[in-house]
């Protein structure tokens, strides 16, 4: 018996080493899992424009966008609060990657809709990809003015249409920092002589988390085809690039965004190509976006 116990004691290091070698081999043979970036942004809107985020399958989001008049309107306009520009919209997640939306804006009585597809997700592990990419295609119909003849004798209803194509490219660098790039094409069926039908813009934006439920945001769109001031006829206000800075406040099913922006437009055509206010000259509009999410079917989205 003493010899048996002694043998066990002498053999035990070999057994332990064999077990360790076996565990290491099993770890090598086990394929790594793919970990996807989650909640790069807390909402579907960065400021005036979109983020890469889409609604989960079966969920619907009601979004209420509001912009006041310019703050530099003074006390007579109650610093912009006497004026109001509103968009009411519904976003619906057809799948976890594909969403559809429809909305109506009071500014120029525009009805708009779009499809938004989350093509690629930022990931690491078995699959490594440095960014998330979401594609957006939209169309807008301007309802103002009511009569075509008020614009031009040759003006037709099809001339009221405009189209938007975007690639939204974002990276979540850390739980506190996300950045996004937004190359954009706007096509307008009808333009004035000093405009171009196709207008390209490059947007930049980001989000910095400052607490568990609050984050700072910023957004800027550089319009590469913005009409030069010298080409504008008398009486036509100059055009400026749209920008915004904001504060996101997350409260359960709501995301409340407070914005300072030089744009009153609430569709891509309007704020990217038709912004007439200069942010740095004090023509700043206070605004907000309020969203409310409703889960209409069983939630399918998980941590990715």
**84 closest CA partner among 103, 102, 70:** 70
List, for residues 33-71, the tens digit of each pLDDT value.
888 888 899 889 999 999 999 988 889 999 999 999 888
Phi and psi at 29, nearest 5°, equal -75, -20
DSSP reduced 3-state for 131: coil
Residue keyed to tokens 């120029």: 108
List, for residues 220-272, the tens digit of each pLDDT value.
999 999 998 888 888 888 999 999 999 999 887 678 899 999 999 999 999 99
Tokens linked to 110? 């525009």
The answer on 50 and 26 residing in a single domain is no
The answer on 121 and 19 residing in a single domain is no
The answer on 16 and 93 residing in a single domain is no
Q: What is the CATH number of the domain that holds 46?
A: 2.40.160.40
pTM of the model: 0.84
Q: Is residue 125 part of a domain?
A: yes
Q: Could you tell me where the beta strands, DSSP code E, fall in 94-176?
A: 98-105, 110-120, 123-125, 132-142, 161-174
What is the chain's percent helix, strand, coil content, to nearest 5?
Answer: 20, 45, 35
- Count of structural domains within the chain: 2
In angstroms, rounded to a whole number, what is the distance separating the alpha carbons of residues 186 and 180?
19
List, for residues 3-31, the tens digit of each pLDDT value.
545 554 554 555 445 556 655 664 555 55
Q: Is residue 211 part of a domain?
A: yes
**53 closest CA partner among 187, 217, 186:** 217
Q: Is residue 301 part of a domain?
A: no
The answer on 209 and 182 residing in a single domain is yes
**Contact, 264 vs 274, CB < 8 A?**
no
Mean pLDDT of all residues in the chain? 86
Q: Is residue 302 part of a domain?
A: no
- Domain span at 12: 1-30
Specify the DSSP class assigned to residue 303: -
């Amino acid at each position: 018996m003493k010899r048996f116990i002694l043998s066990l004691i002498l053999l035990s290091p070999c057994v332990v080493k064999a077990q360790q070698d076996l565990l290491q081999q099993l770890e090598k043979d086990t394929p790594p899992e793919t970990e996807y970036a989650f909640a790069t942004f807390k909402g579907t809107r960065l400021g005036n424009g979109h983020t890469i985020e889409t609604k989960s399958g079966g969920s619907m989001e009601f979004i209420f966008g509001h912009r006041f008049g310019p703050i530099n309107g003074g006390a007579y306009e109650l610093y912009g609060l006497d004026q109001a520009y509103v968009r009411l919209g519904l976003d619906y997640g057809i799948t976890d990657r594909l969403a559809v939306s429809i909305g109506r804006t009071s500014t120029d009585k525009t009805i708009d809709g779009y499809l938004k597809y989350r093509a690629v997700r930022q990931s690491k592990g078995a699959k490594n990809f440095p960014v998330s990419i979401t594609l957006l295609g939209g169309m807008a119909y301007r309802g103002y003015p009511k009569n075509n003849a008020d614009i031009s004798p040759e003006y037709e209803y099809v001339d009221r249409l405009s189209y938007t194509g975007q690639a939204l490219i974002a990276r979540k660098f850390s739980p506190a920092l996300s950045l996004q790039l937004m190359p954009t094409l706007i096509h307008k069926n009808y333009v004035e002589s000093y405009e171009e039908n196709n207008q390209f813009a490059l947007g930049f934006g980001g989000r910095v988390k400052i607490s568990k439920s609050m984050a700072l945001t910023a957004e800027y769109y550089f319009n590469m085809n913005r009409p030069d001031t010298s080409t504008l006829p008398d009486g036509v206000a100059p055009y400026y690039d749209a920008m915004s800075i904001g504060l996101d406040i997350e409260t359960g099913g709501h995301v409340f965004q407070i914005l300072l922006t030089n744009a009153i437009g609430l569709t891509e055509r309007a704020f990217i190509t038709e912004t007439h206010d200069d942010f740095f000259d004090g023509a700043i509009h206070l605004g907000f976006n309020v969203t409310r999410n409703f889960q209409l079917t069983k939630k399918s989205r998980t941590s990715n």
